[in-house]
Amino acid sequence: MKKQITLLFALLFSFAANLLAQKEARQQLNFDFDWTFSLTDSERYITQPFVKGECVEVQLPHDWNIRQEFDKKWGGAVAYLPEGIGWYQKSFSLPASSRGKQVRIVFDGIFMQSDVYINGHHLGHRPYGFCSIVYDLTPYLKPQGEENFMAVRVNTTGGRPRWYAGAGIYRHAWLEVTNGVHVETYGTYVTTPKVSTAEAEVSVVTTLKNSTTKEQTISLLQQVRDSKGQCIAKCKSEKLNLAAGGKTDVKQDINIFQPQLWSPNSPVLYVLETIVKVGGRTVDVYNTTFGVRTAKFDPNRGFLLNGEQVKLQGMCLHHDAGAMGVAVPFRSYERRLEILKEYGVNALRMSHNQPSTEFLDLCDRMGFLVIDEAFDKWKSGNSYYTRFFDEWWQSDLGNMLLRDRNHPSVILWSIGNELIEAWSKSDEGVKRAAMLQDFVHKMEPTRQVMLAAQNNHQDKFSGVTDVIGYNYLEARAITDHKKHPERCFLISEELPYYSGAEGNLRSYTPINPWSVIAAHDFIAGGFIWPGVDYLGEAGWPSKG
């Protein structure tokens, strides 16, 4: 009995010590509260607080657009809501525990054309409104105990995407506080190159950063915990030297015996615990949630999950919450997914931009298969992104891949939807699609790539990507499969009941699209447009 009590105390001490080490090594501080906002524009806001009567108090997430008056002149694509420029400000001091640490700001989403300032210093500009944005605050922060001043300018003028995208800092914000030697933000890449019910090989690439002024000798350990928090596997500690200011990728492998495979019916998750030590002291603990599974699209059998054929019974979703706008409460996400799960939905297409991190976390946990989509349009036609594409496409697409690559729910990367380039008889669209796909294959090769093609697209355009999504083109999919049996097909948008005839997607042929999909193994699945009502794409006086 005495031995058992001693062992229990030892385990409790070890657990408490581990929690303390994690807390000291890395902090993620919520940065949502105590902001002020003004729907006016002035350069003095970079360094000077709003004067009385100029602003209102807000908390994040915040969508200013949804509170404005509807006006027919703005058009149905943006739900008849106006464009504009607004500023956010926040004064803050850091806790004593951050002394001597590295501090970064992470914005989960700012729509759009954002400029961020700290204590008068311009941290950066980001036109795209759907990606996460990370800036290093460390060099510009004031000494401990003094207040820092952050200002964020948000500009939705000059053209907006379809459909309603809102305005403002519409997702969460965080402060990341770490030691000088740390894992970079989104700095682990977990893949499962070999999977069976007997054993799974887990491959981990960790990006380490040394922000100190001298070379550091680092020990890096990976261990896997199950849903109960029990350590079930670990790898041998890796030792390396990292130069001052240096950054490096470290690859390690772990084997999990008798793994529980992730699927919609059994969404089992594991946690990879990355432990970084310098001189025997734990300087960082970085946790990554992942699942063990394989996912592949096949030209004959459609979609294969863990080697078994699964039909994608899907819905297309926008990132807004209807009348609540794009500052979506967590419970709204959760409730939506609960209802779709009850309907029998097992797959979601994120139309037409990457969703929030917490949304994908829910998909991992609740068991949804996700198409993660980067763009609606590229640079042809009346696209808001035309002016940004050449300079920003790599950064914006790369952010989606980096941020979302560890989610087991994500089975396919979509590089675009209903591209104007799809109609071009030239090779412009083909070259552009190949350029984007090559980028994805190089950065995140474990998933295939798709784009969604509309009616009357050029045959050569739909032959570029690993998988081709057809919007309302069930009849053409059958014809094209006969011509191109090597291609992988899915119906990326479908009507809830009527089908379209070949060459006429509005024929309203009284055949349920799902009947067509279910009858053909080569069609991986279908996604009803839309799964939930959204703002935009409406004729006055309707708003959604």
Catalytic residues: 418, 493
Amino acid letter, 311:
K
Q: What φ, ψ does residue 400 adopt, rounded to 5°?
A: -60, -45
Strands, sheet with 173-178, edge to edge from the N-terminal-most edge strand? 26-30, 173-178, 102-107, 133-136
Q: Under DSSP, is residue 488 helix (H, G, I), strand (E, B) or coil?
A: strand
Backbone Cα Rg of the chain: 25
* Intra-chain end-to-end CA distance of the chain, in Å: 68
Q: Under DSSP, is residue 5 helix (H, G, I), strand (E, B) or coil?
A: helix
The number of angstroms, rounded, from the C-alpha of 304 to the middle of its chain's C-alpha atoms is 23
Q: What is the SS3 string spanning 128-182?
A: CCCCCEEEECHHHCCCCCCCEEEEEEEECCCCCCCCCCCCECCCCEEEEEECCEE
Q: State the DSSP code for 65.
A: G
> What residue has token string 């000494």?
143
CA distance 433 to 417: 11
Amino acid letter, 228:
K
Q: Are 523 and 517 in contact (CB under 8 A)?
A: yes
Q: Which helix (H) or strand (E) holds 276?
A: strand 270-278
